Amino acid sequence: MNFKNKLDILDTTLLDYNNQISLLEYQETKEKIDLSKEIQQVYQNLESLYSSIDLKELAITTHEDPLTKKKAQHLTELILFSRIENHQEIHDIRNQVKIELRKLNYMDTLNVLMINPDQEQRKKAIDQVADLCKKNHELLKEFIQIHNRIAQQNGFKDYAQAKLESEGLSDSIFIRYYQKLNKKFSPHSLSGKEPCDLYFQLGKTKNNIQIPDFDSQLLMINLFSDLGLPLSNLPIRIEWEDLDFSGACFRVSVGKDIRLIINKNLSGLSSLHYLLHEIGHAVYYCFCPRNSELLIDNHISREIMADIWTQFLKDKTFLTKYLDMDSESVQKYLNMSEAYERLSQLIQIRDSIFIYEAFKNPMISLPQIWQKSPRNGWM
């Protein structure tokens, strides 16, 4: 069997395994049953498949066509990153950190930090986070050291490089991107307001916006119809369930069976935002390569498609035509969206640079790295 045929068989097997995982995750979410053992078994099958592949053979593809080269390169990246992510030491240290995080009552604390304007409660929550980090400083440093060591064993400089390359990025692209974001969303662009103040303003504005009731399913049908792409002609199924998260897209069979589950407890524009986001993923899976896991690309492409679809909520025509919002409500919402984007980007810059620097500078203490992290002062 020649190399190309062998790679095509591996590719088809990968596609099948990932479809199996997606179906199990859908069933677990929809039926609220524990299928972790079944999911883990498929992941073990994936690992066995990866273990059977000779990386040296994948590297010798100079005689192959460009498409085969691309598949071989992507498969190599998957195998190398999988060796890191599924290493037993990585699993063990992550579980230790999860156990400690549970002591924080993470979601309640996050809600206080992000949306509660009560300064006393915010200070208490910050103190709780600081105390937990102080108690687990050595554990967190060990977390970083283990990730870097396993990454280095697999040919990377550190875990940051391994993670970035698994997303189709590089150190230089990452740094340039955040330098541009930091310049765009620097303090002077916030008109002197702190990001947290904008967030509270966002909540108040959101509550004051008058939005007529709308049927999400009907709205999607009309939108797809106007785009010349009837929803009934696409293999997309939308369901609303009682969830503890916003929603998810499951590629049960790429190009043939795409299922969305959206949190039915969400309402208004928030609900529509998450629906459009997941619809973006679904549309991607409808039209991406159907018979090749290795050509479905990294998740950046899927997130770009999701972001494209959420841009409808920044379009005045969409807001007036599909939501029947008046001009005053539209302008209020657009102002809110701009404030939200600024805030979320500032938080993203701060957190992403902090994590990146922590893996790049394992000998520097985390508090020192945090002090140098952009936008660290707003909390």
Same domain for 80 and 14: yes
The residues with which 296 forms a beta bridge, in sequence order, are none
- pLDDT value at position 84? 95
pLDDT of residue 67: 86
Of the three residues 256, 291, 314, the one that is the final residue of a domain is: 314
What is the per-residue pLDDT for 196?
Answer: 56
Q: Are residues 99 and 242 in the same domain?
A: no
For residue 269, the model assigns a pLDDT of 82
Tell me: do 129 and 65 sit in the same domain: yes
Looking at per-residue pLDDT, the higher value among 72 and 347 belongs to 72
Q: Which of 72-86, 128-142, 270-284, 331-345 has the lowest mean pLDDT?
A: 331-345
Q: Give the integer Cα–Cα distance in Å for 136 and 303.
A: 33
pLDDT band at 377 (very low <50, low <70, confident <90, very high): very low
Q: Is residue 70 part of a domain?
A: yes
Q: Are residues 165 and 220 in the same domain?
A: no
The pLDDT-based confidence of 373 (bands split at 50, 70, 90) is low
Q: In the prediction, which pLDDT does 378 show?
A: 36
Mean pLDDT of all residues belonging to the chain: 85
Model confidence pTM above 0.75 = yes
**Same domain? 282 vs 149:** no
27 inside domain: yes
**pLDDT tens digits for range 39-96:** 999 999 998 999 889 888 888 766 578 888 888 988 998 899 999 998 999 999 999 9
Residues 145, 224, single domain; the answer is no
In whole angstroms, how large is the CA radius of gyration of the chain? 23
Instruction: Examine the domain organization and report whether 263 and 157 are in the same domain.
Output: no
Any domain includes 94:
yes
Domain boundary among 299, 314, 329: 314
Give yes or no for residue 149 having a pLDDT over 60. Answer: yes
Quick one: 243 and 155 in the same domain? Answer: no
> Which one of 102, 137, 169 terminates a domain?
169
- 379 with 126: CB under 8 angstroms? yes
pLDDT digits (tens, 9 = 90+) for 282-314: 999 999 988 899 988 667 788 899 999 999 999
If one compares 42 and 190, the residue with the highest pLDDT of the two is: 42
59 within domain boundaries: yes
What percent of the chain lies above the pLDDT cut of 70?
A: 86
Look at residue 187 and tell me whether its pLDDT is greater than 60. Answer: no
Asked whether residue 120 falls in the same domain as residue 226, the answer is no
pLDDT at 297: 66
The answer to whether residue 77 is domain-embedded is: yes
Does residue 202 form part of some domain? no
Task: Decide if pLDDT at 1 tops 60.
Answer: yes
pLDDT band, residue 346 (cuts 50/70/90): confident
> 155 and 130 in contact (C-beta within 8 Å)?
no
48 and 119 both lie in a single domain = yes
User: What domain range includes position 93?
Assistant: 3-169
What is the pLDDT at residue 375?
46
Judged against a pLDDT cut of 90, whether residue 128 lies above it is answered with: no
Same domain, 29 and 135: yes
18, 82: one domain = yes
Structure token pair of residue 327: 């001009």
Q: Specify the number of domains making up the chain.
A: 2
Q: How far apart are CA 51 and CA 352, in angstroms?
A: 32
**What is the mean predicted confidence (pLDDT) over 197-211?**
62
What's the rounded mean pLDDT across residues 338-365? Answer: 82
Asked whether residue 8 is domain-assigned, the answer is: yes
Residue 201 included in any domain: no
CA distance 159 to 167: 13
Per-residue pLDDT reduced to its tens digit, 225-277: 999 999 999 999 999 999 888 899 999 999 999 999 999 988 888 889 999 99
CB 239 within 8 A of CB 267: no
pLDDT at 337: 79
Nearest Cα to 124, choosing from 139, 104, 144?
104
Question: Would you say residue 369 has pLDDT above 80?
Answer: yes
Task: Provide the CATH number for the domain around residue 267.
Answer: 1.10.10
Strands 257-263 and 247-253: antiparallel
